[in-house]
Amino acid sequence: MHIRNWSCLSAILTIAGCSWLSSPTTPQVNSPQQFDQAQGNYQSIESLPYLAWWQNFNDPKLNELIESSLKNNLDLEVALSNLEQAQGQLRQVQLSWIPVVPILAGYSSNPGFGDIGTFYGIWPQYTINIAQLIKQQERAKYNLEMNKAMVDGVRLTVIGQVSSGYFTLIAQQEQLALLNRLNDDMNELVKILKQEVSIGLKDNVDLTGLMSQQQLIQAQISIATHNIILSQNTLRYLLNQNPGTITNSNNFAKLDFNKFKPGALPATVLQNRPDLKMAEYAVKSAHAGVGVAYGNLFPSLQLDSFFGAGSSNGTIGNPVNYSPMQDAYINWGINPSTFGEIEAQKGAYQAQVYRYIQTVRKILKDVDNDFSANRQYSSNYQSTQQAWKDLAEKYKLQQGLYQTGIMSYTQLLNNKIQLDNLALTVNQAKLQQAITVVNLYQDLAGGYKYQKPESTTSITD
């Protein structure tokens, strides 16, 4: 009776685990039809993952840096190594279907062998839990796909980091040039004011205030110089190079970020994003993990077959008598700890489900924020640039007044310094706009499949 009850319990538990032995499904998460902030001129771009969007800038140095980073970046090398490890783990599970074939030789009086004495032979052994091994192989395949998506995610991140780093570098170089121009104008104004103080036309109060402003400009020049070094070293780090300079001939002021208006629908973005693919395969892998745990409730099949010869009757003579032996039986036992493992794997699965939903929400949030940031910072740059143009036009008229003697050189120089300061503001506004363009392309999953190595796309069955 006890055995019958135990058999019924095992059958019930096995039936309960059948749902976890089936193919997993991805959680359904409602997403909007379009992004609220994707208004105006944002147009959907087909095949964004394959689009080398940075090439639209026609900047050979930027192209060179991205090409080099995709070949040499160490984060990418780590991801590729993890992919190789996942491929090996899948192969390990696949090879578990092959029986072990030990080669034996020696002496045995084991009755199970028939008291064969001296013997030699081979003994293929096959112990397999079919249900569990199927789920182990399934989990290994999902882990492999997750690592493929991780490689894509690193490529996407590296492209964004290099692009942002390069635009920051050339913007800071432009900032330094503008600061030096402002400093030159300030030096000229200080020189004039010193002369006026010496002849009593001005007092030291104005001179002291002007020299204080000059010191602030010098401090900004020092910071800009340091920031250029930081940007160069960051880029070289991304390229797996030692600290040093990065030469370029591009002028940040000539780049036009207004023409870049990439867009995509939420469903397309979610389909393309590597981090969502990683979250999806993590859910499926965790589901398979529950199946592996339930597999402990299924019996193992034991198959043995000995092929060899022995001396027979426990003697030590020459092993010339053929001594075959075969075993075929089911090994079924339930370890109480299995139930704890099942609960643990169910908890891990549920956690991955929530992470998947969280990843979807985060992607939708980030992309919508990117559209808003790009629109607002683009508007800010255009307004600031227009203000500079208006002031530049005013300064041109003031030059005419100076040439006719209506305006003094000191007044003209003060207006020039005002124009210099506004140029610095325009440069910073343009950098902010540039970063929003990079972030938008990155969160839309643009470019990560550009010239992707074949080794990261092959599928191991």
Helix (H) or strand (E) holding 310: strand 300-310
The structure tokens 């959907």 sit at 44
Q: 202 falls in which pLDDT band (50, 70, 90)?
A: low
User: Which two tokens mark 195?
Assistant: 């002369």
Asked whether 146 and 327 are in contact (CB, 8 A), the reply is no
In a domain, 310, yes or no: no
Q: How far apart are the first and last CA of the chain?
A: 46
| pLDDT tens digits for range 381-427 | 999 999 999 999 999 999 999 888 888 888 899 999 999 999 999 99
Please choose, from the candidates 417, 438, 416, 425, the residue with its C-alpha nearest in 3D space to the C-alpha of residue 174: 425
In whole numbers, what is the pLDDT of the chain averaged over residues? 84
More confident residue, 426 or 209: 426
Amino acid letter, residue 435: I
- Domain hosting residue 290, numbered range: 20-101+133-298+336-456
Asked whether 73 and 239 are in contact (CB, 8 A), the reply is yes
User: Which two tokens mark 218?
Assistant: 């010098």
Residue 12 has pLDDT above 70, yes or no: no
User: Which two tokens mark 66?
Assistant: 């991205």
Q: What CATH number should be reported for the domain holding residue 67? A: 1.20.1600.10
Q: What is the pLDDT of residue 21?
A: 63
In a domain, 84, yes or no: yes
Residue 114 has pLDDT above 80, yes or no: no
Phi-psi region of 109 (alpha: psi -120 to 50; beta: other; left: phi over 0): alpha
| pLDDT tens digits for range 307-351 | 778 787 767 778 777 767 777 767 776 778 778 888 888 898 899
In a domain, 252, yes or no: yes
If one counts the domains in the chain, the total is: 1
For 238-265, give the secondary structure using H, E and C.
Answer: HCCCCCCCCCCCCCHHHCCCCCCCEECC
More confident residue, 175 or 342: 175
Q: What is the pLDDT of residue 4?
A: 52
> DSSP letter string over 88-126?
HHHHHHHGGGSPB--EEEEEE--GGGTS-EEEEEE--EE
In a domain, 403, yes or no: yes
In a domain, 375, yes or no: yes
Q: What is the pLDDT of residue 138?
A: 86
Residue 100 phi/psi, 5° resolution? -80, 140
Contacts (Cβ under 8 Å, ≥6 apart) of 10: 297, 332, 334
